[in-house]
Amino acid sequence: MVTASPPRDTRPAAEASARQVAGRRWRSARGVVAAVLAMIVVAVVLAALRPSASAEALDPESPKQDGSRALAEILREHGTPVTVARNTGDALGAAGPGTVLVVTRTERLTEEDLARLGGVPADVLLVRPTSFALEAFAPQVRRRGPSSEEIAGPRCNLPVASLAGAVDFHESETYEVTGAGTACYRTDYGDARLVQVSTGAHTVTVLGSTAPLTNRRLTEEGNAALGMNLAGAGTSAVWLAPDLPTTGSGAGQRSLGDLLPFGVKLLVLQLLVAVLLVALWRARRLGPVVAEALPVVVRSAETVEGLSRLYRAGHARDRASDALRSGARERLVPLLGLPRSSAQDPSAAREIVAAVARRTAYAETYVGAALYGPEPLDDAGLIALTDVLDDLERQVRQS
């Protein structure tokens, strides 16, 4: 009697075949998914950049939350005329002795604008200025870094601050004064949110936060009093809120970019976003590889990923931070005109720190902590150290 053999179980093969089919379908659909995601991102960006009828931040004619119309109206009600200037030429024509020139959006001013404004006979109030604006108006004031402490007391004898009392800064840049000047609203580290210096021809006040002047936060703490004391310190106020980056600062002078239709700018933006998404899709980007002595030669990508996992698993933040700092010094010293051997020479640390500080917007103590400081306390600190080192290299390269 012949018996039939039991049928073979074909389920594993069928399951493997199904997985292969699913994999092929996913690979073929990745392009469509990437295109859909690109369209969503572009739509969100276009919606965010679409021009609105309202004015922009710190505009004395804007009733929006980030505008400053409320403060301008209060100044006028208390007898201080407020003149709104949209370019440097108008500001120079309106600002004179006894006037307070309020300068906002300094990132929209060219070097020529800043040089012309630096000689204005009026007192100047700089609101969260750029490093270039600080250099033009008050070179003895240097940026120290951001502060997230919202409410602070004056802790100084400057009348405009002591009369206002505690102020809600929300978030603020902080500064230090290297020469004569007054520093107020200090952080626990001694950095100031408000500084005032005299340059001979006029007084320059630097405010590190926009919050005290905005409609949204004007009624909080002593914000209104501080804004009135600063902007209303003279017989009149000229509020410079440039609409667009200028080429010559005169009214009617527009750059080629200003003359392009908004649709052309959006098209260029779409192309840039598409290129970026394709780059992210086709390649996994890694940061620069830090050289380290290894017993064997392996591919750079394997080195980065493998060592990163080992450092993270072993909590070896000290070794990782040392490697990052060493690599940063190796790349910085040629840019500073120093011998390469000085990167690993402890005796050259002071020289390297001083050279980097001169080429960046940071103080020597901050640069020294970044290049030679202790190990980070946690992974977030290690990531923050990476960002700081990248920023130092970028500023040195661009200086």
Q: What is the Cα–Cα distance from 328 to 148, expressed in whole angstroms?
A: 27
Encoding tokens for residue 363?
């103080």
Distance separating alpha carbons of residues 392 and 356, to the nearest angstrom: 8
User: Is-contact 229 164, C-beta < 8 A?
Assistant: yes
Q: Over 50: is that where the pLDDT of 251 sits?
A: no
Residue 267: the pLDDT is: 78
Candidate from 181-190, 305-314, 350-359 with smallest mean pLDDT: 305-314
Question: Measured between alpha carbons, how far is 316 from 346 in angstroms, rounded to an integer?
Answer: 22
Rounded to the nearest integer, the mean pLDDT of the chain is: 80
Q: Which amino acid is at 242?
A: P
In this predicted model, what pLDDT tens digit does every residue of 256-312 receive, in sequence order?
555 556 667 777 888 888 888 777 766 655 566 666 665 666 666 666 667 677 767
pLDDT of residue 212: 93
**DSSP 3-state assignment of 52?**
coil
> pLDDT by residue (tens digit) across 80-92?
999 999 999 999 9
What is the pTM for the complete model shown?
0.52
For 369-386, how does the pLDDT look when each residue is reduced to its tens digit (9 = 90+)?
Answer: 888 888 888 888 888 888
**Two structure tokens written together for 327:** 């690599």
Burial string for 144-160 (b: 16+ CB within 10 Å, else e) reads beebeebebbbebebeb
**CA gap 105, 128 in Å, rounded:** 8
Predicted pLDDT at 176: 92
Instruction: Tell me the C-alpha distance between 307 and 293, whole Å.
Output: 12
Among the listed residues 281, 286, 316, the one whose alpha carbon sits nearest the alpha carbon of residue 299: 286
Please state the rounded mean pLDDT for residues 215-224: 91
Cβ neighbours for 35, distance < 8 A, ≥ 6 positions apart:
none
> All domains of the chain, ordered by start, with CATH?
69-254 (3.40.50), 300-398 (no CATH)
